[in-house]
Structure 1
Amino acid sequence: MATDPDLSDYIIAPDPAAARLTRSVEGTDHAGQPLSLSVVEERPLTIFLNSQEIVTAMTIGDYPDYLALGFLRNQRMLREDDEITRVDYDEELETVVVRTARATDYEAKMQRKTRTSGCAVGTVFGDMMEGLDGITLPANTLRTSWLYTLSAKINRTPSLYLQAGAIHGTVLCHRDRPLVYMEDVGRHNAVDKVAGWMLSEGVSADDKILYTTGRLTSEMVIKTAMMGIPALVSRSGFTAWGVEIARDLGLTLIGRLKGQRFVCLSGEARLIRDVDPQSVPEEPRRAGRKGAA
């Protein structure tokens, strides 16, 4: 089990060194008046595992090493005992190569797959389902005071979404404190970046909370469980299969978290309601992230 390093620094996405995350585009508004908009960039990133090409992801381009590591780990292409020797990123070729000390099981059988920025695409789903039987999540309690504090803090955090929109965010949290915030055009990319950061930094999962702006689908629930995180929280809504899998795995599932309101569809017994919702300020209308019902 990983032991947390010093987590006093809060890493805010996007990476300040990635200068090409947005571009200015000229257009007109509903009245025909000229305007200039900042829009999110989107570019391909091809991930290799040793010599095997695995996937091409459409991404904003920041933290390619975390994205590659997280994707491979969440797909179980990297095992716990795989020694990662190098991660090489070539910006010009738009490729990242993860190298391990020995060949992995997937190199012989993996066929090339293309991953798009569409929210419902991005995982090798069958391989993820195969790993669920061995997952045991800690039955941690979750305080509603943490949820309200996290929601307020995350909504005030400068982000690419507030600058340009059309993007998802994922935040790794410990109790009421955000630890690392990643964004991308696809919610799966953002989750994989967090997973890659945890793997790279040796951060434990068993006392963490994963916050996302995306829908709580089966894939999002499975990825959270694969990472070993016992609680998943979102501004958005649920799918029935996502709820079913969360209940089967013992994962606490909180959705539609906005201002005073949220819905718990899995893990109610682990929820400690230590704050009167009426004492929580409503979310400012223009300050929050979007969240699908």
Structure 2
Amino acid sequence: MQSRNDAYLIAPDPGAPRLTRHVTGTDQEGRVQQIRVVEERPLTIYLNGQEIVTAMTIGDYPDYLALGFLKNQGMLRDGERVTGVEYDEDLEVVVVRTDTPTSHEEKLKKKTRTSGCAVGTVFGDMMEGLEGLTLPAPEVRVSWLYTLAKRINTTPSLYLEAGAIHGTVLCRQDRPLVYMEDVGRHNAVDKIAGWMLSEGADPGDKILYTTGRLTSEMVIKCAHMGIPALVSRSGFTVWGVEIARQVGLTLVGRMRGERFTCLSGEDRLVRDAQPRAVAPDGRRRSADV
């Protein structure tokens, strides 16, 4: 599925027929309406011959989702070579194959159901691999954040067409690169991680923008991906903030228009732009917005 937006390497394709279905209902006055509703379908992920998890997803980019999920759960180690990714659309199964045997029975026994949308799942110790981790510390310019928010929020997407979806965007400075959507924000992040693994992308100069809450598991995923800045239009949890400070992650939330709150990495923010009296879409803001 190729991007139709030149600003992105991969952009949402809200017109893709498999991602939504027309459903008939009625509105508040009893009038018949037909609206587009996001599809949900299961995807079972295997690592070599072992079944790992069944995730509920919109069904696009199953290869990136599988790779990113396994990478973010620590089931694909640094330096481990992936020899193939096979997707069977009819069976709704994706198999990731490596050049070395893998065994994750213990991790599979230690499931933690998280607070994520679509019931995110973290295997094993959530903090595993974070001890001693220090992320790169590049500057983050406020002008980049303003530009990114405007571009991302006006990009044609499933969220704008049908709702009930989360988006995650990999960015470099003020340019959005890869925009993924899914019913769970964890899935959207995992698709980004899978794309980065496939492309060998350098995470050290990237910003991850998400529509979801900045919870502990979102911060942990971002840290494991090696991305030093995480930005959201939504809010924080205390544990998410504490982990961000521990690993040196720049954490910016409540990004609405040109207002935001930074709770970690304030020293890396370069305030090269000031909020204006009008919102990025040109509408004048009221005093209480």
- TM-score, length basis structure 2: 0.90
- How far is 1:282 from its partner? 4.6
Alpha-carbon distance between aligned partners in 1 of 2:131 and 2:115, rounded to the nearest angstrom: 29
Question: Which of 180, 200, 205 is residue 203 of structure 2 equivalent to?
Answer: 205
User: What's the secondary structure of 2:129's corresponding residue?
Assistant: coil
2:227 pairs with 1:229: yes
- How far is 1:86 from its partner? 0.5
- How far is 1:8 from its partner? 7.8
Question: Which of 205, 214, 230 is residue 212 of structure 2 equivalent to?
Answer: 214
2:249 pairs with 1:251: yes
| Post-superposition CA distance 1:31-62 (Å, at most 9, x none) | 11110110000000000000000000000000
| Post-superposition CA distance 1:53-107 (Å, at most 9, x none) | 0000000000000000000000000001111000000000000000000112426
- How far is 1:19 from its partner? 2.9
| Post-superposition CA distance 1:137-173 (Å, at most 9, x none) | 0111100000000000001111111111000000000
- How far is 1:10 from its partner? 2.3
2:12 pairs with 1:13: yes
Alpha-carbon distance between aligned partners in 1 of 2:114 and 2:216, rounded to the nearest angstrom: 18
Q: Tell me the amino acid that sits aligned with residue 201 of structure 1.
A: E
Segment drifting more, 46-55 vs 105-114: 105-114
- How far is 1:112 from its partner? 9.8
User: What's the secondary structure of 1:129's corresponding residue?
Assistant: coil
Question: Which of 170, 175, 178 is residue 177 of structure 1 equivalent to?
Answer: 175
User: What's the secondary structure of 2:64's corresponding residue?
Assistant: helix
Flag structure 1 segments of 5+ consecutive residues without an equivalent: 1-6, 286-293
- How far is 1:278 from its partner? 2.1
2:148 pairs with 1:150: yes
User: What's the secondary structure of 2:159's corresponding residue?
Assistant: helix
2:94 pairs with 1:96: yes
Which residue of structure 1 lines up, in the alignment, with residue 275 of structure 2? Answer: 277
Flag structure 2 segments of 5+ consecutive residues without an equivalent: 1-5, 284-289
User: What's the secondary structure of 2:126's corresponding residue?
Assistant: helix
Fraction of identical pairs, as percent:
71
Which residue of structure 2 lines up, in the alignment, with residue 35 of structure 1? Answer: 33
Q: 1:23 to 1:116 in 2, by over 3 A?
A: farther
- How far is 1:136 from its partner? 1.6
Alpha-carbon distance between aligned partners in 1 of 2:82 and 2:54, rounded to the nearest angstrom: 21
| Post-superposition CA distance 1:250-290 (Å, at most 9, x none) | 100000111120000111111010001126635578xxxxx
User: What's the secondary structure of 2:239's corresponding residue?
Assistant: helix
| Residue pair 2:14, 2:157 contacting (<8 A) in 1 also | no
Alpha carbon RMSD of aligned pairs, Å?
Answer: 2.3
